[in-house]
A and B are shown apart, each in its own frame.
Chain A
Amino acid sequence: MSVERVRTAVGHVVLMFGVLVSLFPFYWMVVMASNTTPDIFSYPPKLLIGSHLFENMGKVLDNIDFFGSMLLTLVASLAVTVLVLFFDSLAAFAFAKYQFPGRNVLFGILLATFMIPTQLSLVPQFVVLAQFGWIGSLKALVIPGAANAFGIFWMRQYAKGAIPDELISAAKVDGAGFFRQYLTVGLPVLRPGLAFLGIFTFINVWNDYLWPLIVMTDPNRLTLQVALDQLNGIYGTDYSMVMAGALMSVIPLIGVFLIGARSFIADLAAGAMKF
């Protein structure tokens, strides 16, 4: 028994060390954001949280349109999330629960699209959007990502297990059409799955850097990630301020994650197991 105990104790020490490594950069971000730049660049460096946090945050607001960028990022993330949830769950519902000619072929095509790296079509996508006149607009951030193969695949797996055929049959007997069935039978049952897909999508759009870097060409309309990088590029000498900006950009994201963390992680793992 005592051997077992020692082993669990060692396990916890290993895990706790890992947690420290995982979380340290966040602590360090707060330390840098709350001290002055000369302080963090002194030797030995300051390791404790200082008192200049709000001063540094204020400087961020003076130098970049932080709230403008945040609003743009928020609107884009929410818009993509809502559209993805609707389009993906609707398609997944059809794929999971209905027979229709060509269903398997269509689903096969959908799976095949996983193979295409996004960077492959970066150049022509830019050209297409330029033709549409969408470069620099919110549409460029939202529309291309409004439905995605991962979400449909994931929701379909979820829907298959979660929606009982009897419920659909009952709705049919009641005279409900397909979209009615989706609204009354599909959506309520799919809600936990939608929560996962929603958080996942929101975080991904919020974090995306390459795509907004390419399509948001107007320096007055940048997403948070691009604006943050610009802040670093132009005012990199004021590290405390850059870190205050980084901190401000991370907080909403971690908030969203922590709200649904428990089931989010479980769902993500379950999704990976199904591949």
Chain B
Amino acid sequence: MKQVVSALLGRPGSQKRAGGSGVGEALSLIGVLLVLVLLLEGLTGRFVSQATFTSIAFQLPELGLLTLAMLIPIISGGLNLAITFSANIAGLVFAWVLQWGGGPAAGPEIFVLGVLAALLTGALIGGSMGLVIAYTGAHPILVSLAMMIFLRGLGEFLTRGGDVSGFPPYVVQLGQGSVLGIPIPLLIFILCVAIWAVVLRRTRLGFSTYMLGSNIEATRYSGVDTRRMVTLIYTLSGVMCAVAGIVMLTRFNSVRIGHGESYLLITVLACFLGRVDPFGGFGRVLPVVIALVILQVIGSGLNLLGTNQHLATALWGGILILVMVLRYVWGELALGSFLRAGRTPAPATKGPNQ
């Protein structure tokens, strides 16, 4: 039990000291998940059912793909606030290609072309953001914020706030169909998780991402082209947004600017619950994925309990605060037991700022 609590609350930086390995961490989060499922089953009496799991399996991928898009910038010490609208715009480009190719009569080659166009759009959006961040030294929060305002305006301007639909019938089959009982969006998500895990753990880019998050100047002095890396990181983030946009389009059979806007907070929440360091430099893919499942389970539970949508929004905010507060308190307690030699705990060096 102690490990379960420490997995959820321990500070990301103190992973080594707490003796938790990657696998142990994941197992502990799974423990939290099981406790939560049992709790919800006890509360509602009908939580553990086929319907719940189907709905989670279909909802998880959108949120999950956006979280992956958020994860890499956070590990590199930044943030990408434009994820949801990047996904919307990429979806919009996909929709246009489908419509240009004949709407409901569009063939598979048009579909592939649309996917490529959407991915390219995502890469362009992310890449331009990365270039601005890398070469002007402007803060990622600011740049992605401006990009978010721009993309939202662009999308609203282009669609006049309405829906774009009229796609071939196989599109919605892709979004709502299953292969061997596994929903296709979930398969796409699992594939993307695997790619992200490999990128972060096994490539030069991944290594540089962690180093950038720890100390960008030291990284530059050790011979890494930090500007190129930052540009690449945001480009990849944009591509992942595009994947999320494609999945959203196939699931809803339409594109609407502003869809998934409320996911922004939850992606940040999932990253921090999955023990990614808010200051950058630390974080793994697998714990974040399990944290995502936990959040999705909470979301479905709230839904089953008949919670008002706005109350749910407030609860997400409350949960985020609670997790961070408990994590701090737990960290201080753990630190206190380590330093019982009569010294007061050292003040946090990074401080509460930025």
Q: Do A and B come from one complex?
A: no
Chain B residues packing against A (C-beta within 8 Å): none
